[in-house]
Amino acid sequence: MAATHLLSHSSFLPKTLNHSLTQNPFSKSPILPLKPSKNLFKHPSLSLSLKAVLSQNPAKTLNPTFQHCFTKSPDGFLYCEDTKVQDVMEKVEKRPFYLYSKPQITRNVEAYKEALEGLKNSIIGYAIKANNNFKILQHLRMLGCGAVLVSGNELKLALRAGFDPTKCIFNGNGKILEDLVLAAQEGVFVNVDSEFDLENIVAAARIAGRKVNVLLRINPDVDPQVHPYVATGNKNSKFGIRNEKLQWFLDAVKAHPNELKLVGAHCHLGSTITKVDIFRDAAVLMVNYIDEIRAQGFEVDYLNIGGGLGIDYYHSGAVLPTPRDLIDTVRELVHSRNLNLIIEPGRSLIANTCCFVNRVTGVKTNGTKNFIVIDGSMAELIRPSLYDAYQHIELVSPAPPAAEVSTFDVVGPVCESADFLGKERELPTPAKGTGLVVHDAGAYCMSMASTYNLKMRPPEYWVEEDGSVTKIRHGETFEDHMRFFEGL
């Protein structure tokens, strides 16, 4: 439907697996069974475990590109670019909604493109898991991005949005055969995550009748010093393969020349990383692995360093690394091995482009706690409840001069004590109906929304370059929910 304009302006495993794909009915020859290899890498240094505490040199560059597109005017009104958020609230549905800056999305992409200048054939693979809004995906595709996928439906969505399949990367620790067949048919890169994953990729290649370009996802065991839920590159992660198993995977790829072509190595450390030297720590290990892989006759052309660059959620004016700071830490390594670089940004492309807009239902006090109750909740935005994450909160309009400033927990109406958007926030006491926003809500917010308590997923809008406001996703309704039961 056309957009609607609203406003003008993981020790080795056993030798074999009891796995159906080991005896794949489509196979002309058995898939290589799992067994330890005797040809492990010779260099003990490749088993090095690095800790982020060794890299304490954050970049000193202030990042004007990532300055907030939401600003307060001198008279206390919140603006998205040059559009007053209060005006948007008065024109759209009276329910919580997400509001984006389309120009900020463009600026964020351009910052990565400028950082990658001089690195030919590099790929900016946008992580669709961060935000899967179809209109946003189409915009990112038009700006030249590829896509990073972690499910079959994300792959289908990327194809529907027009992404070039040869700039798409299929990740995940549990990719199923059906989805891998589609990936093989379309010619996307596939990251190998485990022994059974490799088996499935081989089977998919045979079904599709096409060789699959694969990268090995290696856990470099670099500690990113982030919340454990978003740390993905350590030795105990459910993702990727340990370096001591690499030889087995190389032997497996060699055993399937008609199904697999090894083109690169991949790592992903985690999310909300604020020290770019951590990426270099990992890249040093990765290029050493690539040297060893090339020494065995593989034509490896790609280094994929994943994503994970953090943003200033606290709005504290902290000097955080920019895309250029990130790329500059690995640039010489990439050049020295004549590699093509793949990066997988999600949060740093989309988080700071959006806020979650709510209305105040009321204010109450229990014991020593003051609460601002809003119409939005953990159902629409779960990061604070799930990760104890901080997101900046402020009012959309100026408070009355007599409004007392107090410390509040900002909570929603969902029947859970964990339903909060922020704790211990100093805010002017708001009147009923006052607008309140949760900032930096573009990533891992709407894409993680649920219908718990039958809270319907909200609509989404963006401010265009000319200041007009466009609906880019319809809000869900009770009638939408009931359609799941029609004809039953």
Give the percent of the chain with pLDDT over 70: 82
Q: CA 300, CA 461: separation in Å to the nearest integer?
A: 42
Whether residue 43 has pLDDT greater than 60: no
pLDDT given at position 242: 85
Whether residue 442 has pLDDT greater than 90: yes
Contacts of residue 401, Cβ cutoff 8 Å, sequence gap at least 6: none
Greater confidence (212 vs 49) lies with 212
Question: What single letter denotes the amino acid at residue 349?
Answer: L
Q: Which CATH superfamily is domain 171-345 in?
A: Alanine racemase (3.20.20.10)
Longest Cα separation, the chain = 80
Question: Band of the pLDDT at 41, cuts 50, 70, 90?
Answer: very low
Mean pLDDT of the chain: 87
Q: pLDDT digit string (tens) for 122-171? A: 999 999 999 999 999 999 999 999 999 999 999 999 999 999 999 999 99
Q: How far is CA 441 from CA 118, 210, 472, in A?
A: 32, 40, 15
Catalytic residue among 145, 267, 415, 445: 415
* Strand, helix or coil for residue 256: coil
Q: CA 323, CA 63: separation in Å to the nearest integer?
A: 9
pLDDT given at position 282: 86
CATH topology of domain 352-485: Lyase, Ornithine Decarboxylase; Chain A, domain 1 (2.40.37)
Give the percent of the chain with pLDDT over 90: 75
| CB-side neighbour CA atoms (13 Å) of 144 | 14
pLDDT given at position 466: 97
Greater confidence (37 vs 448) lies with 448
Q: pLDDT digit string (tens) for 399-436? A: 999 999 999 999 999 999 999 999 999 999 999 999 99
pLDDT given at position 240: 83
Query: Residue 180: is it exposed, middle or buried by C-beta count within 10 angstroms (0-12/13-18/19+)?
Result: buried
pTM of the model: 0.86
Whether residue 29 has pLDDT greater than 90: no
pLDDT given at position 62: 43
Whether residue 172 has pLDDT greater than 60: yes
**Domain residue spans of the chain:** 171-345, 352-485
Q: CA 171, CA 412: separation in Å to the nearest integer?
A: 34
Whether residue 13 has pLDDT greater than 60: no
376 neighbors 356 (Cβ within 8 angstroms):
yes
Q: CA 340, CA 362: separation in Å to the nearest integer?
A: 54
Q: Has 415 been annotated as catalytic?
A: yes
Q: pLDDT digit string (tens) for 220-239? A: 766 544 434 334 445 666 77
Whether residue 268 has pLDDT greater than 80: yes
Q: pLDDT digit string (tens) for 317-352? A: 888 899 999 999 999 999 999 999 999 999 999 999
Whether residue 22 has pLDDT greater than 60: no
Q: What average pLDDT does this structure show over 244-266? A: 97
Greater confidence (311 vs 13) lies with 311
pLDDT given at position 129: 98
Greater confidence (151 vs 51) lies with 151
